[in-house]
Amino acid sequence: MNTDLERVEAIEAATPAEGLFADKDWLISPTALPFPAKFVDELEKLGYRLWLFVRACNLLYQQSVKGNQPPWIADYLDRGKPEPLREISRAREFRDDLPRVLRPDLVLTDAGYTIAELDNVPGGIGLTGWLNETYAALGEDVIGGPAGMIDGFRSILPGGADIIVSQEAATYRPEMQWLARKAGEGFTVRDSDFVPEGAPESPRNIYRFFELFDLPNIPAADAIIRNARAGTVRVTPPFKPYMEEKMWFALFWLRPLREFWRRELSERHFLKLQQVIPYTWLMDPAPLPHHGVIPLLEIHDWSELEHFSQKQRELILKISGFSETAWGSRGVELGTDLPQAQWAASIRSALADFGAHPHILQKFHKSRLIEHPYRDRDGTMKTMQGRVRLCPYYFVFEGKAHLRGTLATICPPDKKLLHGMKDAILTPGRVEG
């Protein structure tokens, strides 16, 4: 391909007829986003650290339930969850089950990057697989290789899987159908009323592509859980709602748990994660002792947060999990973007909802600006000065987290919350040079 426009046209021509996201599109770039080899090596190491972190989270919850760690940990993580789901998440037969796909959302900053959150039920697997395949065909050295995403998905589900997609997640059905075709025999996308059958000697894999808050809208949920307990099916990600809470970043920073994290992660990896996990607070409205203050905010009561100036409000308010507003860009508010009255109302609402839906507060790290080419809606080639959310995809098999692809979302500079949008560029990452 001699010109950028010809490359964009080739990428567009390679798009599956049914698309990859239902009723959604994006701006196309003629080239993948380049990253230095040293940065790609850092991404590989990040996967290992996050795998250690996820294992430690699972252990901490279980120890809290047993009384070997403070009971308030499990109490926080179980809030708002129905008892049957709490019971299945604690079942002995699923004790060691962990998510097999890890996707952190990285915000690229002037100092490096920060992890906005960690997703265990991520969208974009099929899309990133298609992007890697398509850009590799144009000669790009994409991170993970042309078939990395497909091979990674196949490796975590040996023998195939029934990929159950809920109506809530229907936007992502086309990309999962593309992924299933590429993964080959044994991989099929199913509706949420599908009940897979297997046997203890040859259990059937289920890939759960629906959020656990949506379980009442999954007709086959009870049968899947029953079969999982009988050992005739294996479900990933597991039915462990506590693993999908954003409050884990707040627990990571709590001083009473510091020695646990150091022991389970090792001192070296603990310190490395401190550099990239933004300081996070769990917004527990319980009163403090008269001499107590909330660390770094230096306030005695959350109500004082309502009166912070706009400059002081470089903070993000999020619902922690188990809610239809806890994924995508929903349920996320940036303090500097809100009028003072709305900010105060959001704080009061978050505190009032703590019993059922805990919220977290997180330091906001401003993303750096980069430049990248794209084809505009009018058909002309342009250069966007934008901000990047980078999503590396790690597949866990053979006891390791393997980096198999990256999805870069390049948003216009006025967008501070970096999520997929119509006026954003979606492109894979590649190794520079």
Q: Encode pLDDT of 163-183 as tens digits.
A: 999 998 899 999 999 999 999
- At 266 the pLDDT is 97
Sign of the Cα torsion 109, 115, 120, 121 reads negative
| SS3 per residue for the chain | CCCHHHHHHHHHHCCCCCCCCCCCCCECCCCCEEECHHHHHHHHHHHHHHHHHHHHHHHHHHHHHHCCCCHHHHHHHHCCCCHHHHHHHCCHHHCCCCCCEEEEEEEEECCEEEEEEEECCCCCHHHHHHHHHHHHHCCCCECCCCCHHHHHHHHHCCCCEEEEECCCCHHHHHHHHHHHHHHCCCEEEECCCCCCCCECCECEEEEEECCHHHHHHCCCHHHHHHHHHHCCEEEECCCCHHHHCCCHHHHHHCHHHHHHHHHHHCHHHHHHHHHHCCCEEECCCCCCCCCCCECCCCECCHHHHHHCCCCCCCEEEEECCCCCCCCCCCCEEEHHHCCHHHHHHHHHHHHHCCCCCCEEEEECCCCCEEEEEEECCCCCEEEEEEEEEEEEEEEEECCEEEEEEEEEEEECCCCCCCCCCCCCEEEEEEECC
Percent of the chain with pLDDT over 90: 86
- Give strand pairing partners of 404: none
**pLDDT beyond 80 at 331:** no
**pLDDT beyond 70 at 71:** yes
Return the structure tokens found at 141: 């050295």
Closest among 257, 201, 232, 217 to 76, alpha carbons compared: 257
* Dist CA 311 CA 318 (whole Å): 19
pLDDT band (50, 70, 90) for residue 416: low
pLDDT, averaged across the chain:
93
* Dist CA 240 CA 62 (whole Å): 11
- At 19 the pLDDT is 86
Residues 6+ apart with CB under 8 A from 42: none
Question: Would you list the domain boundaries of the chain?
Answer: 1-145+242-278+366-433, 279-363
Give the model confidence (pLDDT) of 47-67 as tens digits. Answer: 999 999 999 999 999 999 999
**Average pLDDT for 280-297:** 95
- At 418 the pLDDT is 54
- At 413 the pLDDT is 85
- At 198 the pLDDT is 80
Question: What is the largest distance, in Å, between two alpha-carbon atoms of the chain?
Answer: 70
pLDDT band (50, 70, 90) for residue 22: confident
- Full-model pTM: 0.95
Other beta carbons less than 10 A from residue 256's beta carbon? 11
Q: What is the CATH number of domain 279-363?
A: 3.30.1490
Return the structure tokens found at 203: 């259990």
Q: CA 281 → CA 71, 76, 277, 296, 363, distances in Å?
A: 19, 13, 12, 10, 9
Q: What are phi and psi of 247, to 5 degrees?
A: -65, -10
Give yes or no for a contact between 382 and 394, defined as CB atoms under 8 angstroms apart.
no
Half-sphere exposure of 235 (CA within 13 A, CB side): 29
**Average pLDDT for 277-303:** 95
- At 325 the pLDDT is 62
- At 117 the pLDDT is 93
**pLDDT beyond 70 at 330:** no
* Dist CA 180 CA 82 (whole Å): 32
**Average pLDDT for 17-24:** 81
